Chains A and B, each alone.
Chain A
């Protein structure tokens, strides 16, 4: 059971906009930044979003992050087949004195 809650799966068709949610609490998302990672099949994770809504260079602006209260969202617009991957949210948890991850969301492009 992960501290951060994500839907196990999401799907969309090419060109669509998809959002993935991440629910936490006041001890993590409510008081700390949220990060998103992308893991393509068979590869290592990659940084996708840092500090709630910032993108590393090289990450397309089709990917955007937002945070409100104790929840966060990752939005992917103009969905492409190469976006098919697992997506994880993470945040620092003051109560646990450690990082916590969501269980991951498997995105399927239909």
Chain B
């Protein structure tokens, strides 16, 4: 299995631009998570989908952030408009079980830099 696939690996953009991060979960996994990692705040959960439905979006910072999961094999995290404080590594993770539990598999992350 190819694992969780994220694209792009690196994204550099200017403040105010729209940014779209993409994730392909492991086939057969019905839970998908988006995390953000920063030096200041560590690793924090942004949103959790189960069977393509958002279950927990309490970690989404503000309305500039949105996430979708149109089908079981694809999810996007969009930031519009982007701001320098959004600079971080964004991880996608998937799991074959509800809530993730001990079966959480991470992608390699997208390094986002907003100038």
A, B from the same assembly: no
Q: Which residues of B contact A (CB under 8 A)?
A: none
